A and B are shown apart, each in its own frame.
Chain A
Amino acid sequence: MELVEAIILSVLAASTPLLIAATGELVTERSGVLNLGVEGMMIMGAACGFAGAWLTGSILIGALCGIAAGTLMSLVFALMALGLAVNQVATGLALTILGIGLSGLIGAGFVGERITPAAHLYIPGLTDIPLIGHVPFGEDAFVYLSLALIVGVWWFLYRTRPGLILRACGDNHVSAHALGYPVLRIRTLAAMFGGACAGLAGAYLPLAYTPFFIPGMTAGRGWIALALVVFSSWRPGRLVVGAYLFGAVTILQLHAQGWGVGIPSQFMSALPYLATVIVLVLLSRARTGGSTAPAALGTVFVPDR
């Protein structure tokens, strides 16, 4: 039974960066912006987050550095894709290539260093309850934050007026513009939120998941987060389900490798990526009654005046 608890805990830990990054990208895409640079923003968040935490000894400052790095990267994206009306797919790819290079440069001096990972919550009595105590009461702050974030995003998108305006920009930028909403400013803010989340998600990896930094440690998680947004049909509730499902696949393949099932480890490691492809195909196929994507997703908008 303790194994079950351990597995649930590790699934939560593996899912959290996916959930945080995908939450940010969901808001970005809901405003009509397709930022494919999540992987680049995440790896920058990881490098800067680790650098910040190692230099100051504070996980909080590390996380803030990660957020700042992700936000800065998203501002570069916004300047290009929104300010200069450059193709969003190409800009996102450029952001990823740049992020991987820059993070290698920044992180090079920190490879091999270790930090004390983020502390886990401990409430005497509650956390000690056998079998069920650790899952709700013994996580690190990032896990709670990720859940608060997705609830907050749901409330913002569906229960507030600014959320409605943001969704309007994503579905029909011409109408939103005609109603007098500053489409490009709203989209820039949405892209920045996405960047901040991606940076935080990246920072989670060296600050809580593994207490060290290695170049390329995001290993495609940014791309999986992008796939999760598609999986969720751009809805926050389904995003939580998707993120935990993917976390579970990642952890199960790790355990299967440990149990010595006669399958080569590389095949097990390929599972999360293959699962992404299969899920994308199944979901896209199930959606026969029109797409659920924001109607203006990824399209260029140049206000005419």
Chain B
Amino acid sequence: MQLVLEKRAERSNTIALISPLIAIGLTIVTMVILFAILGKNPLLALDAYFIAPLTDGYSLQEIAVKATPLVMIAIGLSLCYLANAWNIGAEGQFLIGAVAGSWIAVKTQGTDAGAWVLPAMLLLAAAAGALYALIPAICKVRFGASEILTSLMLVYVADLFLDYLVRGPWRDPHGFNFPTTAEFDPVATVPLLIDGGRLHLGSIIALLVVAAAAILLGRTIKGFEIRMVGAAPRAARFGGFNANQLVILTFAVSGALAGLAGIIEVAGPVGHLQPGISPGYGFTAIIVAFLGRLNPIGILIAGLFLALTFIGGEQAQIAMKIPLDVTKVFQGILLFYVLACDSLILYRFRLVFPNRQVARGTG
């Protein structure tokens, strides 16, 4: 018995629509088995993961807060992946954005600096993220160095740089030697949308980013170029599109979005700069981008879903002592199933039995 792929004459749009759902279904089945192996009641665990967070207002806000960086980063990454540029260093661009924006917050701390502080922080963070992403992009375009490896290496560098700052020059003198900056001033903080709640302005910015990406990809020539260069590089060359220029552009945009997400996270839910500000947002966003089929609306839904798994994972840990690593396993398995189901869009799977194969001849 052998598994054989047959190319479909046309990509199947029905499957394109339902494949993420099949993937989620398969992931949940796998998780049930995993919970059973861990000796936890699978039904209770699924409830803690996927249902409980949806039943109270606090958790719902928390999901939106967690989805904000995921969606912003994933939108940028989707542009890269559509153009066949492999930025996997969004985590580093996120951290550098957080560092650059925090610089203004730290320097203006305790002064009477006005309302310009937060906008300046956001701008600087986006610029820094874009510049940091341009390093692998330029290495790729000018020297042909693999952007996958260089962008990933720069994640470690950014992480160490942040660590140095909060343990050294930026450490809060009144922070009992903890590696953290002082709490940001109110003018350097992302405003909340609901008093006393968790939801903040960043979520609105994320929605605007989704809308902008939808317009860019669906309604503009640039968006067409991006999709064309990725899907049919040869045709794009004949069409006179400059693939290198698009690598630079998509990397810069995705770096800017990751940097912006970084400062929003620090100046919003966290409130100060410290190591470990990201539970791997930059990597989870890769899953979000693929689960959302590299489509802005899809990414919004996928971002909310993965945020749910973060919150659900925390609740399952508290309520049932399920280790947090289960969330990472869940996300990894989900990405596998998403990719496998995507294969169904282009191919038909068929099981072939050896004896029949001989009789089939040229087929």
Q: Is the CB–CB distance between A105 and B323 below 8 Å?
A: yes
Q: Is the CB–CB distance between B145 and A108 below 8 Å?
A: no
Q: Is the CB–CB distance between B342 and A97 below 8 Å?
A: no
Q: Is the CB–CB distance between A101 and B329 below 8 Å?
A: yes
A-B contact count (CB 8 A): 143
Q: Which residues of B contact A76 (CB under 8 A)?
A: 336
Q: Is the CB–CB distance between A284 and B144 below 8 Å?
A: yes
Q: Which residues of A contact B224 (CB under 8 A)?
A: none
A305 and B3 CA atoms in complex are apart in Å by 13
Q: Does A21 contact B (CB under 8 A)?
A: no
Interface string of A43-75 (1 = CB under 8 A from B): 000000000000000000000000000000000
Task: Return A267 CB to nearest CB of chain B, in Å.
Answer: 7
A98 and B150 CA atoms in complex are apart in Å by 22
**Assuming the A-B contacts A93-B335, A108-B325, are A280 and B343 also in contact, with contact meaning beta carbons closer than 8 angstroms in the complex?**
no
Give the interface segment out of A78-86, A153-161, A198-206.
A78-86
Q: Which residues of A contact B5 (CB under 8 A)?
A: 84-85, 302
Q: Which residues of B contact A273 (CB under 8 A)?
A: 153-154, 156-157
Q: Is the CB–CB distance between B148 and A280 below 8 Å?
A: no
Q: Which residue of B lies closest to A90 (CB)?
A: B339
Q: Which residues of B contact A280 (CB under 8 A)?
A: 139, 145-146, 149-150
A267 and B167 CA atoms in complex are apart in Å by 13
Q: Which residues of A contact B286 (CB under 8 A)?
A: 93, 97
Query: Which of A86, A270, A285 is in CB contact (< 8 Å) with B339?
Result: A86
Q: Does B164 contact A (CB under 8 A)?
A: yes
Q: Is the CB–CB distance between A36 and B7 below 8 Å?
A: no
Q: Does A241 contact B (CB under 8 A)?
A: no
Give the interface segment out of A124-132, A163-171, A223-231.
A223-231
Q: Is the CB–CB distance between B328 and A100 below 8 Å?
A: yes
Q: Which residue of B lies closest to A267 (CB)?
A: B164
Q: Does B290 contact A (CB under 8 A)?
A: yes
Q: Is the CB–CB distance between B152 and A104 below 8 Å?
A: no
Task: Return B133 CB to nearest CB of chain A, in Å.
Answer: 13
Q: Is the CB–CB distance between A287 and B325 below 8 Å?
A: no
Q: Which residues of A contact B335 (CB under 8 A)?
A: 90, 93-94, 97-98
Q: Is the CB–CB distance between A267 and B145 below 8 Å?
A: no
Query: Which of A102, A227, A270 is in CB contact (< 8 Å) with B156?
Result: A270
Q: Does A87 contact B (CB under 8 A)?
A: yes
Q: Which residues of B contact A84 (CB under 8 A)?
A: 5, 339-340, 343, 347, 349
**Assuming the A-B contacts A273-B154, A277-B139, are A87 and B329 also in contact, with contact meaning beta carbons closer than 8 angstroms in the complex?**
no
Interface string of A216-254 (1 = CB under 8 A from B): 000110010011001000000000000000000000000
A94 and B329 CA atoms in complex are apart in Å by 10
**Assuming the A-B contacts A87-B339, A97-B328, A230-B149, are A281 and B139 also in contact, with contact meaning beta carbons closer than 8 angstroms in the complex?**
yes
Q: Which residues of A contact B332 (CB under 8 A)?
A: 94-95, 97-102
Q: Is the CB–CB distance between A220 and B329 below 8 Å?
A: no
A266 and B160 CA atoms in complex are apart in Å by 5
Q: Which residues of B contact A270 (CB under 8 A)?
A: 156-157, 160-161
Q: Is the CB–CB distance between B336 and A94 below 8 Å?
A: yes
Task: Return B284 CB to nearest CB of chain A, in Å.
Answer: 8
Q: Is the CB–CB distance between B148 and A104 below 8 Å?
A: no
Q: Does B305 contact A (CB under 8 A)?
A: no
Task: Return A272 CB to nearest CB of chain B, in Å.
Answer: 8
Q: Which residue of B lies closest to A293 (CB)?
A: B146
A89 and B339 CA atoms in complex are apart in Å by 11
A87 and B345 CA atoms in complex are apart in Å by 13
Q: Which residues of A contact B7 (CB under 8 A)?
A: 302
A200 and B340 CA atoms in complex are apart in Å by 28
Q: Which residues of B contact A102 (CB under 8 A)?
A: 325, 329, 332
- Contacts of B137-179 to chain A: CB distance below 8 A: 139, 142-146, 148-150, 152-154, 156-157, 160-161, 163-164, 167-168
Q: Which residues of B contact A285 (CB under 8 A)?
A: 142-145
Q: Does B39 contact A (CB under 8 A)?
A: no
A104 and B287 CA atoms in complex are apart in Å by 19
Q: Does A262 contact B (CB under 8 A)?
A: no
Q: Is the CB–CB distance between A104 and B340 below 8 Å?
A: no
Interface string of B324-353 (1 = CB under 8 A from A): 011111111101100110110011010000
A276 and B135 CA atoms in complex are apart in Å by 13
**Assuming the A-B contacts A97-B335, A105-B326, A277-B153, are A89 and B160 also in contact, with contact meaning beta carbons closer than 8 angstroms in the complex?**
no
Q: Does A264 contact B (CB under 8 A)?
A: yes
Task: Return A160 CB to nearest CB of chain B, in Å.
Answer: 27
- Contacts of A273-300 to chain B: CB distance below 8 A: 273-274, 276-277, 280-281, 283-285, 287, 291
Q: Which residues of B contact A87 (CB under 8 A)?
A: 339
Task: Return A196 CB to nearest CB of chain B, in Å.
Answer: 21
A285 and B340 CA atoms in complex are apart in Å by 36
A277 and B145 CA atoms in complex are apart in Å by 8
Q: Which residues of B contact A269 (CB under 8 A)?
A: 160
Task: Return A281 CB to nearest CB of chain B, in Å.
Answer: 5
Q: What would be 11 A-B contacts, judged by CB atoms less than 8 Å apart?
A: A91-B336, A91-B339, A264-B164, A276-B150, A277-B135, A277-B150, A280-B145, A280-B146, A281-B143, A285-B144, A291-B144
Seed contacts A284-B139, A287-B144; 20 additional CB < 8 Å A-B pairs: A84-B347, A85-B346, A87-B339, A94-B336, A97-B287, A97-B331, A101-B327, A102-B325, A104-B323, A105-B323, A215-B325, A223-B152, A266-B164, A266-B167, A267-B160, A277-B145, A280-B149, A284-B143, A284-B144, A302-B5
Question: B residues within 8 Å of A by Cβ?
Answer: 3-5, 7, 86, 88, 135, 139, 142-146, 148-150, 152-154, 156-157, 160-161, 163-164, 167-168, 283, 286-287, 290, 323, 325-333, 335-336, 339-340, 342-343, 346-347, 349, 363
